[in-house]
């Protein structure tokens, strides 16, 4: 299997591998004043040149947030976060747009290089004028969110021709206010939960996607998030709308440099699918997980929710979570359209001291709605992993069906795996199935592989990838290989 070979090489080049993406870029930054107040929010809104209604929306969210308490029902434990001791806005100083790559901040280019982004794409990302026109052949459009500002969006032109809008959400607020007004906060209301309210108040950037009626988005859309500056929270906001019979596949990848302090990442993602629309949202998350002793790392507290508003709409979440000190999120589907489909495919890997509490919510409102949940958790080291999922069949969900499968794989004897399924059925014709297994990688399996010439790490990689196959096959091709490598890297040193 070539992926395994490549992984081996990757591991070798890393030596005693630590966090591969743990570099820090020294770029001049503009910060908002530290701390969180109405002034901070006014500052952000002003810097983003937002219209008045947007500022009001933010302030409303901020007031809701002030009245809320931080939730404490989750499994992961973390020290109290001081919300006044962080920056809420940081922006690379480099405006207006450069004319060629030579004019771009070399530090920024070096960052892109380390991320493995090819030169021509670097040019596009760095906002070199005209660079986007030449490279329209590439199949993936990238929107890089470097701290709080989406540096530039590639392929906007190609997409525009198809009628697709793919741009930073701050642009969308200015350029497509009617769409943003109609949909922003319609799936995740500002007062939905503590972290969503915080995000609504201070979100600085993120992506906006609008696919008009009958359009099949001509390329995979991809966003690259990266937290760079110290003590900044990344509060991005993503909004994806698919009109009738429209289709889109969207991928986000996340990294952050190594830092001793913990950084908060509280994003909100909202998806809206109308009649016969299909949205596929894939996440490969490898935020810095902290060191072996649990020092540093990202707190990844994210609210992701999709609404199938039309008939036979479909929303599919696929996530590969290998990073973050704490992952705490439940990408969910509200199945409001008759016959609509929700899917959730998840791989969560925890190693060392990482904690993950993740799963999904499938809310069946309409008749003949269907949902599938495949969740795989892999725990190694002294980590702890929880699947927490809710399947709710409402009274009108005639003939609705759900199938849930939760599998846990343990490596070593100091880690934990927990499965917490909540099932609420209020319609007698609805069917809910739940299957769960827990297993360990056995000595027998390792020895069997090694006696065939595989190294211990290759053997673990093979077994883990086999375990996750049902989920990995849901990822877009290009990213499936990447995800396999990531799995192996994050589990390195977990055996023997």
Q: Which parts of this chain interact with other proteins (CB under 8 A)?
A: 1, 4-5, 442-445, 447-456, 458, 462-463, 465-470
Cβ(61)–Cβ(201) below 8 Å? yes
Beta carbon nearer to other proteins, 216 or 469: 469
* Shortest distance in whole angstroms from residue 436 CB to other proteins: 15
* Shortest distance in whole angstroms from residue 409 CB to other proteins: 10
Determine the Cα–Cα distance for residues 193 and 228; give it in Å rounded to an integer. 26
Beta carbon nearer to other proteins, 3 or 128: 3
Beta carbon nearer to other proteins, 422 or 448: 448
Determine the Cα–Cα distance for residues 257 and 226; give it in Å rounded to an integer. 8
Determine the Cα–Cα distance for residues 82 and 299; give it in Å rounded to an integer. 13
* Shortest distance in whole angstroms from residue 441 CB to other proteins: 10
Determine the Cα–Cα distance for residues 482 and 484; give it in Å rounded to an integer. 5
Beta carbon nearer to other proteins, 34 or 450: 450
β-pairing, 90-92 with 341-350?
unpaired
Tokens of 361: 């919510």
Beta carbon nearer to other proteins, 220 or 457: 457
* Shortest distance in whole angstroms from residue 440 CB to other proteins: 12
Determine the Cα–Cα distance for residues 194 and 145; give it in Å rounded to an integer. 24
* Shortest distance in whole angstroms from residue 450 CB to other proteins: 4
Tokens of 431: 């069917």
Beta carbon nearer to other proteins, 467 or 479: 467
* Shortest distance in whole angstroms from residue 11 CB to other proteins: 14
* Shortest distance in whole angstroms from residue 293 CB to other proteins: 28
DSSP tag of 203 = -
Beta carbon nearer to other proteins, 100 or 455: 455
Tell me how many degrees the CA angle 315-316-318 measures, rounded to the nearest 5. Answer: 155
Answer left, alpha or beta for residue 257, where phi above 0 means left and psi between -120 and 50 means alpha: beta
Cβ(75)–Cβ(386) below 8 Å? yes
Tell me how many degrees the CA angle 243-248-249 measures, rounded to the nearest 5. Answer: 155
Beta carbon nearer to other proteins, 88 or 467: 467
Closest CA to 473 of 310, 334, 385, 345: 345
- Residue linked to tokens 């760095």: 126
* Shortest distance in whole angstroms from residue 27 CB to other proteins: 41
Determine the Cα–Cα distance for residues 112 and 132; give it in Å rounded to an integer. 16
Beta carbon nearer to other proteins, 66 or 455: 455
* Shortest distance in whole angstroms from residue 489 CB to other proteins: 17
Determine the Cα–Cα distance for residues 389 and 360; give it in Å rounded to an integer. 5
How would you write 235-302 as a 3-class SS string? CEEEEEEECCCCEEEEEEEEECCCCCCEEEECCEEEEEECCCCEEEEEEEECCCCCCCCCCCEEEEEE
Beta carbon nearer to other proteins, 301 or 467: 467
* Shortest distance in whole angstroms from residue 347 CB to other proteins: 12
């Amino acid at each position: 299997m070539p992926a395994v070979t490549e992984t081996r090489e990757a591991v070798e080049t890393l030596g005693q591998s630590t966090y591969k993406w743990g570099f820090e870029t020294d770029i001049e930054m503009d910060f908002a004043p530290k701390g969180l107040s109405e002034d901070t929010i006014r500052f952000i809104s002003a810097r983003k040149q937002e219209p008045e209604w947007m500022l009001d929306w933010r302030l409303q969210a901020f007031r809701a947030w002030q009245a809320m308490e931080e939730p404490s029902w989750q499994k992961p434990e973390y020290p109290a976060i001081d919300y006044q001791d962080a920056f809420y806005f940081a922006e690379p100083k480099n405006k207006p747009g450069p004319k060629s790559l030579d004019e771009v901040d070399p530090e920024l280019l070096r960052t892109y290089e380390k991320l493995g982004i090819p030169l021509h794409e670097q040019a596009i990302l760095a906002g070199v004028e005209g660079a986007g026109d030449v490279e329209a052949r590439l199949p993936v459009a990238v929107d890089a969110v470097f701290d709080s500002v989406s540096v530039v969006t590639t392929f906007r032109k190609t997409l525009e021709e198809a009628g697709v809008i793919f741009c930073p959400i701050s642009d969308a607020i200015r350029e497509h206010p009617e769409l943003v007004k109609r949909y922003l906060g319609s799936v995740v209301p500002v007062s939905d939960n503590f972290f969503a309210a915080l995000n609504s108040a201070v979100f600085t950037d993120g992506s906006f996607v609008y696919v008009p009626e009958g359009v099949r988005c001509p390329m995979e859309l991809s966003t690259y998030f990266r937290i760079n500056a110290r003590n900044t929270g990344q509060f991005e906001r993503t909004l994806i709308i698919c009109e009738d019979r429209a289709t889109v596949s969207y991928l986000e990848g996340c990294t952050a440099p190594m830092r001793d302090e913990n950084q908060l990442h509280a994003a909100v993602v909202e998806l809206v699918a109308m009649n016969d629309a299909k949205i596929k949202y894939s996440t490969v998350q490898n935020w810095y997980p902290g060191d072996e002793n649990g020092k540093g790392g990202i707190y990844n507290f994210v609210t992701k929710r999709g609404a199938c508003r039309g008939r036979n709409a479909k929303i599919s979440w696929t996530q590969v979570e290998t990073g973050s000190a704490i992952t705490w999120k439940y990408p969910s589907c509200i199945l409001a359209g008759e016959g609509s489909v929700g899917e959730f495919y998840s791989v969560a890997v925890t190693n060392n001291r990482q904690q993950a509490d993740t799963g999904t919510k499938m809310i069946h409102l309409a008749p003949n709605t269907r949902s599938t949940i495949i969740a795989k958790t892999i725990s190694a080291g002294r980590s702890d992993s929880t699947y927490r999922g809710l399947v709710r069949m409402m009274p009108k969900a005639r003939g609705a069906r759900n199938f849930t499968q939760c599998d846990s794989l343990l490596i070593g004897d100091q880690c934990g795996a927990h499965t917490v399924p909540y099932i609420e059925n209020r319609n007698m014709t609805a069917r809910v199935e739940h299957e769960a297994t827990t297993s360990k990688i056995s000595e027998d399996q390792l020895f069997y592989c090694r006696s065939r010439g595989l190294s211990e790490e290759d053997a673990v990689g093979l077994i883990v990838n086999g375990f996750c196959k049902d989920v990995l096959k849901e990822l877009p091709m290009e990213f499936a290989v990447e995800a396999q490598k990531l799995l192996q890297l994050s589990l390195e040193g977990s055996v023997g």
